[in-house]
């Protein structure tokens, strides 16, 4: 009997030690890694300035979170390198979606920066007309702007709603059941989305999601999104929440149409970080320094990564841009985009800089 009690005591002690070890395991210090996995909940509370980018080594995505690649080299070579990190090969007829920029002085991506990449994929630059007047509201004027801004010198340009719209379905949306894109949208097999990341007067910020929703929307599609799915002729007067959510839903319809995102990738250039969009011909001069170029196959992760980099400077030169985003409740677009399945706000950020 004494022997049984002895072994029972020993087993109890071992069990207590095992439980204690499990509890301590949750407190182990983090190990240094070449990548940073960032959760959207952390990003909303941990926005302190940080000057360093992650070191470039081997990629270890955690729990299959989408990878966002980054370089601080804002040059044709840097753009090509971050794009190549995606290991994505376009097929068939390739569209390169960008903003042609509103004259006379908007911060659109310059042809000298993008020329090599656009030509390397044999891409056609695609855009759609605006729904708010200006120099790009009619097809003839828009082609003239594309020429004046140097785009026709580096590639063919297609104003996709030159001959009207086509309708694509929206699934899982709260605001939209259909989306209106340019009539030639389906003429392309692969889409490379080049976005200038910046602020926006209405949306708070503009990046990849805005470029595939408002950007790929035909003139009537832009009104449809702005109005929250209530009008195809009047872009104004809609509820703000409806506008943000419609952007996310229109973006998802584009991704879904392109084989659930298999035929589309995204690059955001973080330079000339004005509080105003490239649809503004006279934007405010940027307060914030240039940051770099980021790329991903997930538009939500990509835009969230750009937001996080800006918020790291919220007490510095990023203050005006953060104020613009928060005063418009711009993060709601990302919240809704993740909710409906367009992408993830949790991502792994990897620098490709040596």
pLDDT of the residue at 130 = 96
Average the pLDDT over 11-15 and give the result: 42
Residue 13 within any structural domain of the chain: no
At 7, list the tokens. 């072994």
Instruction: Please give the pLDDT value at position 63.
Output: 59
pLDDT at 143 over 80: yes
Within 10 Å of residue 97's Cβ, how many Cβ atoms? Answer: 26
pLDDT at position 237: 84
128 has a pLDDT exceeding 80: yes
Indicate whether 24 pLDDT > 90: no
Tell me the C-alpha distance between 37 and 41, whole Å.
Answer: 12
Range among 61-65, 143-147, 279-283 rated most confident: 143-147
Q: What is the number of domains present in the chain?
A: 1
Q: Could you tell me the two tokens for 29?
A: 């210090």
Q: What is the pLDDT of residue 270?
A: 98
Q: Does 344 reside within a domain? A: yes
pLDDT tens, residue by residue, 340-349: 999 999 999 9
User: Can you say whether residue 332 is alpha, beta or left, with left for phi > 0 and alpha for psi between -120 and 50 degrees?
Assistant: alpha
- Going by pLDDT thresholds of 50, 70 and 90, the confidence category of residue 36 is low
Q: Which domain holds residue 240?
A: 33-351
For the residues 124-144, what does the mean pLDDT come to?
A: 96
Give mean pLDDT, residues 22-31: 34
State the sign of the Cα–Cα–Cα–Cα dihedral 317, 319, 320, 321: positive
For 205-249, what is each residue's pLDDT tens digit?
999 999 999 999 999 999 999 999 999 999 988 899 999 999 999
Q: Is the pLDDT of residue 84 over 50?
A: yes
pLDDT per residue as tens digits for the range 280-309: 999 999 999 999 999 999 999 999 999 999
Mean pLDDT over the full length of the chain? 87
In this predicted structure, what is the pLDDT of residue 354? Answer: 82
133 pLDDT band, cuts 50/70/90, is confident
With 0-12 / 13-18 / 19 or more C-beta atoms within 10 angstroms meaning exposed / middle / buried, residue 178 is: middle
Q: Quick check: 279 and 99 in contact, CB under 8 A?
A: yes
Phi, psi of 124 (to 5 degrees): -105, 130
pLDDT at 313: 96
Spatial separation of the C-alpha atoms in residues 309 and 50, rounded to whole Å: 8
Checking 322-326 for CB contacts under 8 A at 24+ apart, the result is 323/275, 324/199, 324/200, 324/204, 324/205, 324/275, 325/199, 325/204, 325/205, 326/204
Domain CATH code at residue 216: 3.40.50.11440
Q: Is residue 55 part of a domain?
A: yes
pTM for this entry? 0.85
Q: What was the pLDDT predicted at 64?
A: 85
Whether 311 maps to a domain, the answer reads: yes
**How far apart (Å, rounded) are the C-alpha atoms in residues 249 and 209?**
10
Give the DSSP letter string of 217-255: B-HHHHHHHHTTSS-SS--SS--HHHHHHHHHHHHHHHH
Judge whether 3 lies within some domain: no
**For residue 268, is it within any domain?**
yes
For residue 7, tell me if it sits in a domain.
no
Asked whether residue 40 carries a pLDDT value surpassing 60, the answer given is no
pLDDT at residue 85 is higher than 50: yes
Is residue 38 in a domain? yes
What confidence category does residue 312 fall into, taking pLDDT thresholds of 50, 70 and 90? very high
Average pLDDT of span 331-335: 97
What are the Cα distances from residue 330, in Å, to 212, 256, 319, 327? 16, 23, 15, 8
């Amino acid at each position: 009997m004494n022997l049984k009690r002895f072994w029972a005591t020993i087993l109890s002690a071992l069990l207590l030690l095992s439980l204690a070890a499990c509890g301590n395991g949750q407190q182990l210090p983090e190990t240094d890694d070449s990548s940073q996995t960032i959760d959207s909940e952390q990003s909303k509370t941990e926005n302190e300035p940080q000057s360093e980018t992650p070191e470039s080594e081997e990629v270890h995505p955690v729990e299959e979170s989408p990878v966002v690649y980054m370089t601080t080299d804002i040059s044709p070579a840097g753009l090509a390198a971050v794009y190549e990190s995606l290991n994505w090969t376009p097929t068939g007829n390739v569209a390169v979606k960008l903003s042609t920029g509103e004259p006379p002085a908007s911060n659109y991506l310059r042809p000298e920066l993008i020329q090599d990449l656009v030509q390397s994929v044999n891409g056609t630059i695609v855009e759609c007309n605006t729904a708010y007047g200006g120099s790009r509201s009619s097809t003839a004027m828009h082609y003239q702007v594309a020429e004046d801004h140097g785009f026709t010198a580096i590639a063919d340009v297609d104003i996709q709603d030159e001959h009207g719209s086509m309708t694509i379905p929206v699934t899982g949306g709260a605001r939209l059941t259909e989306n209106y894109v340019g009539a030639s949208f389906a003429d392309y097999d692969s889409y490379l989305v080049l976005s200038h990341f910046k602020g926006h007067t209405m949306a708070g910020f503009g990046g990849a999601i805005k470029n595939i929703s408002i950007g790929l929307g035909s003139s009537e599609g832009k009104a449809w999104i702005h109005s929250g799915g209530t009008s195809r002729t009047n872009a104004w007067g809609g509820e703000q929440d409806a506008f943000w959510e419609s952007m996310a839903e229109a973006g998802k319809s584009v991704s879904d149409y392109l084989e659930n995102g298999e035929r589309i990738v995204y690059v955001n250039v973080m330079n000339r970080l004005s509080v105003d969009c490239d649809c503004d011909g006279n934007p405010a001069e940027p307060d914030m320094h240039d940051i770099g170029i980021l790329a991903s196959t997930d538009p939500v992760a990509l835009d969230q990564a750009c937001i996080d980099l800006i918020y790291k400077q919220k007490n510095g030169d990023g203050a005006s841009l953060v104020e613009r985003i928060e005063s418009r409740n711009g993060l709601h677009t990302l919240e809704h985009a993740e909710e409906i399945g367009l992408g993830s706000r949790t991502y792994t950020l990897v620098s490709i800089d040596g």
